[in-house]
Amino acid sequence: MSDTTIPMVDLDVTNCPPAVELDMAGGSDIGQRRSQNQDHFMIAELQRQLSVIATDVPLDSCCELYGSEPGHLLVVADGMGGHSDGELASSMAVQVCARYVLDMMHWFLKLSSKNGDEFLDELSYSLSSAQEALWEQSGSDEGRMGTTVTLAYILWPRMYVIHAGDSRCYVLRDQKLQQITKDHTIAQRMVDEEVLTQKQADDSPFSHVLWNCVGGGDHPVRPEVVRFTLRSGDRILLCSDGLHGMLDQAAIHSIMGDGNESKTTVDHLIRHANNAGGRDNITAVVATCREVQ
């Protein structure tokens, strides 16, 4: 792994579960106090495809061949910067990450222990690629625009999360909600160093001061990398701090465990965050893993 990459975390690696379908939805809202929405998100399916130009081999009428295992890309970005800079930063980051994954990254449709680290190196470089694009856009301006990025690439049953900033990725499993990314804030770092308790950090003025993001300064981004093995029944949430800053863990757990379709769950999360004050832009992406019947 690269020297600029936070050590990889392996979580709950189990036997491969059965094939599933993903019910995915996302939404973003300006909130109650902002004049502009600087959040962006994306949900995408990536699948290797071969379009046949000419052949004398009998084919199905579609004349297209597809790889057997599509990948799914989930991204949430929360921009920072004055005026329109934050909106542009998050939009650019999402686009660059998606373009990188699609056009530049090697396709690893059959991952193994031999190519897993190489795959993660490639995937984590999507954030470095986005940072380079933001630096080029900002030029030498002081207070360069920046953004958080939380990206999940799902190749069933594996999920790979690449993360910088204080947006979050959660997994709900067996009615237990787990935050699988760490906030890259000064306050959280002080918790890690046992200078503050978690409650003190939540109330600290440093709770929204980032030490790591995409763009936003001269320091290279340090992607956090998480590997997670999914199971049928798992629910995944990616969200900006406008959501988790308004709703505590118990509230998020209650809504994520409601058993609704992903779109309904997204709507409920955003509505409850607005009802709690909506102090920031609110973005949520939910994916529900359902066993194929």
The most distant pair of C-alpha atoms in the chain lies apart, rounded to whole Å, by 71
Residues 6+ away with beta carbon under 8 Å from 60 = none
Is 211 a member of any domain?
A: no
Is 60 a member of any domain?
A: no
Pairwise CA distance, residues 96 & 99, whole Å: 5
Task: Give the structural domain span for 26.
Answer: 9-49+65-184+216-291
Q: Is 0.75 surpassed by the pTM of this model?
A: yes
Q: What is the CATH number of the domain that holds 103?
A: 3.60.40.10
Mean pLDDT throughout 145-153? Answer: 96
pLDDT of 77-95, one tens digit each? 999 976 569 999 999 999 9
Number of residues assigned to the chain:
293
Is 43 a member of any domain?
A: yes
Is 275 a member of any domain?
A: yes
More confident residue, 264 or 52: 264
Is 140 a member of any domain?
A: yes
Pairwise CA distance, residues 76 & 93, whole Å: 10
Is 173 a member of any domain?
A: yes
Cα–Cα distances in angstroms (integers) from residue 84 to residues 38, 146, 279, in the given order: 8, 11, 18
Is 223 a member of any domain?
A: yes
Is 92 a member of any domain?
A: yes
pLDDT of 256-284, one tens digit each? 999 999 999 999 999 999 999 999 999 99
Quickly state the pLDDT bin for 68 (edges 50, 70, 90): low
- Given a cut of 70, whether residue 250 has pLDDT beyond it is yes
How many distinct structural domains can be found in the chain?
1
